[in-house]
Chains A and B, each alone.
Chain A
């Protein structure tokens, strides 16, 4: 791995690409991002997506940033054997090399608290993922209808 990083660094210097100081997070691919429209800005929104680590290093997601919400955070819904669901912050998310972590209804979600603007169906909003290696990745999350059931609507 060190070899390939050194090689990548050498290569990027050769071709004049910006030298990436991050290790791993550049291999994260975000798929099937979606969210539901909100009615106003009083209640939190949620966004879902799959984070795929195509690299060979474990990558740790530390947090989220978006102009849409003052307090974005990753929360997780847990449902116990009695069918009681509750929700709380998850902290860091570890994405092992070659694996995917899904943020999906009933599991983890990007909880968008203190919305600054209404989430309007048909629009998108930028969501920046911040990783432990210092890297960031900004994705445009489509806003689907309020009664959407998945990335396909």
Chain B
């Protein structure tokens, strides 16, 4: 099939419209409410010990889910450190909460890579990774955005942009809410305790 110049322009515009639509969709994702039945924690990934884990493996526990990559020196260690502080402060109630760090850089983040990174912050935190397809599917389910950014001044010539919120799901896997990046552990803890009624 040969396209005329006009057809090419029209297809180009259509493509831009689709991208624009997806972007708009994305921009409203933070306004998802707990009563949105479609937003549930749903995944099948490999944990940092090489075991396949699905959301059902964590049923009955509150889930703190966040996305990142091991080569991230700022946002990811900071969120991991906040979550570690929350888990510490929960004391015996920590058993009711499962923090999950999901990689959006499956190219570099093998289970072995995550095993030396994630649990160093808190032994309770589980790192999850998967194939590029699995990660893409997971990001769609969780409505998070990620992109690979070519950046010569970064390790391996690239860095990742990614949604940096910390999501909370209830013991049935339903979305409760999210904290923006940079929320202090004390605030997360207070909100979490209120949700858990402890």
Residues of chain A having any CB pair with chain B under 8 Å: 36, 39-40, 43-46, 71, 73, 75, 77, 79, 81-89, 105-106, 109, 111-114, 146-149
Contacts and interface: CB of A to CB of B under 8 A. Distances in A.
B74 A84 contact: no
Given A40-B116, A82-B29, A106 B84 contact: no
B87 to A, nearest CB: 10
B164 A84 contact: yes
B192 to A, nearest CB: 17
A44 B159 CA distance: 11
A43 B164 contact: no
A106 B70 contact: no
Contacts of A85: 75, 161-164, 181
B29 to A, nearest CB: 7
B161 A46 contact: no
**5 A-B pairs closest in CB distance:** A86-B161, A85-B164, A46-B73, A105-B78, A147-B81
| Interface SS, B side | mixed
A113 B72 CA distance: 11
Given A36-B81, A147-B122, 13 more contacts: A39-B117, A43-B117, A43-B155, A71-B153, A79-B164, A79-B181, A82-B30, A82-B163, A86-B159, A105-B74, A106-B74, A111-B73, A147-B85
Interface residues of B, number: 41
Nearest to A80: B161
Contacts of A43: 70-71, 73, 117, 155
Interface in B146-175: 147, 149, 151, 153-155, 159-165
B82 interface: yes
Given A83-B164, A114-B155, A75 B149 contact: no
Contacts of B176: none
A80 to B, nearest CB: 9
B182 interface: yes
Contacts of A40: 116
A83 B77 contact: no
A144 B191 CA distance: 28
A92 to B, nearest CB: 14
Given A36-B77, A106-B75, A149-B81, A88 B151 contact: yes
Contacts of A106: 74-75, 78, 181-182
B117 to A, nearest CB: 6
Given A113-B154, A146-B121, A84 B73 contact: no
A87 B74 contact: yes
B43 to A, nearest CB: 19
B149 to A, nearest CB: 6
B7 interface: no
Given A87-B75, A148-B81, A82 B27 contact: yes
